Structure 1
């Protein structure tokens, strides 16, 4: 495989869109898993162990991931200018995913505060033992890759052909040669001309 062929494949619309959708879906997928394992004081509640999903620990990650999925899908049908806008949206969404995930890593107690509040009836996670899982780190990585995907889209889409769905169709036949055309005559007119010894295909 030549280097030119490999480069062309990495610029393909289907490849760029598919990879970007998968990255955004991966970021969203992490939010459905456990981000924080919380152990509450035994005297606080009957069930001291709480598993906090990413959608609860960092709700912004879910929102940014959904935006990224929608933007990636829209890129497949967008025009040239719209693709630049979508690239910017993907970069912002990727930063949002990474930043919100990193915030949970920096302060897991704050990320668990909502879940702990529901369990014990008071806000905050004071006195709770909060342990991070690998999911927030994977979300940070996915966010960074979404940023790169947005940049990739901006670069690769410059070589994408414009959509021909709504493009004007070129003239064909006589019209393309500048010749005048007339609407075809019906069967009765053709028969009348034929009986008169005239050529029914001659419109002049």
Structure 2
């Protein structure tokens, strides 16, 4: 089986896996805030730490489903959209992991404590612990980027889907001679009237 034939299912699975991981990750705890006032720890889910995580993950799932039936030109557009999404989400996740995640916990801390403003939030936060979910999600964005690259490199050579549903003049070959019941059913299947 050639790379072009294997590329479509591999790319679709890559899109769906990355999108599913993003959706699941958006509901899991990414950051745990230990409070300086000895209050209960605050758990920050992925959707709060990275607000665009859930909607863009849903978009990636939709791109994967569309990729499974898309034509040649649309495949390239879907590959470009997926690559841009992977780069954006990967960069955002990487910034959260390597930078100061105080901004990522701000909304959840404000909702829990009622305190607003960066100075007030900084006074409440004693430490922030990062879970494994952002790292796993970052791997998912690398998978999405690789799948998008696969689409962009091999997408032109994929076979087009849906040809069996088209009626072309090339399929309209009538044999000379008597027409039997099977030929009539075949003509009906192709969309032609066998009685003419």
Task: Using structure 2 for the length normalisation, give the TM-score.
Answer: 0.77
Report the alpha carbon displacement of residue 143 of structure 1 after superposing the two structures with TM. 1.3
**C-alpha distance in structure 1 between counterparts of 2:41 and 2:90, whole Å:** 27
Match of 2:189?
none
Match of 1:173?
174
1:135 to 129, 133, 139: 133
Aligned counterparts, 1:111-190, within 5 A: 111-123=104-116, 124=118, 125-127=121-123, 128=125, 129-163=127-161, 164-169=163-168, 170-174=171-175, 184=195
**C-alpha distance in structure 1 between counterparts of 2:100 and 2:61, whole Å:** 27
Match of 2:58?
66
1:30 to 25, 34, 39: 25
1:99 paired to 2:91: yes
Structure number having the greater helix percentage: 2
Gapped regions of structure 1 (runs ≥ 5):
176-181, 186-204
CA contact (8 A) 1:34 1:52 kept: yes
CA contact (8 A) 1:35 1:133 kept: yes
Match of 2:43?
51
Runs of 4 or more, structure 1, over 6 Å off, are none
**C-alpha distance in structure 2 between counterparts of 1:21 and 1:183, whole Å:** 44
CA contact (8 A) 2:29 2:45 kept: yes
**C-alpha distance in structure 2 between counterparts of 1:19 and 1:184, whole Å:** 49
Alpha carbons of 1:183 and 1:141: their partners in 2 closer, same or farther (altered >3 Å)? closer
Which is worse superposed, 95-104 or 79-88? 95-104
Which is worse superposed, 121-130 or 73-82? 121-130
- The number of equivalent residue pairs is 171
Gapped regions of structure 2 (runs ≥ 5):
177-192
Q: Secondary structure at the match of 2:167?
A: coil
Alpha carbons of 1:15 and 1:149: their partners in 2 closer, same or farther (altered >3 Å)? closer
Pick 1 or 2: higher relative contact order, CA cutoff 8 A, min separation 6. Answer: 2
CA contact (8 A) 1:87 1:154 kept: yes
Which is worse superposed, 72-81 or 98-107? 98-107
Which structure: larger Rg?
1
Which is worse superposed, 164-173 or 111-120? 164-173
Q: Secondary structure at the match of 1:173?
A: coil
1:39 paired to 2:37: no
Taking only aligned residues, the RMSD between alpha carbons, in angstroms, comes to 2.3
**C-alpha distance in structure 1 between counterparts of 2:105 and 2:64, whole Å:** 31
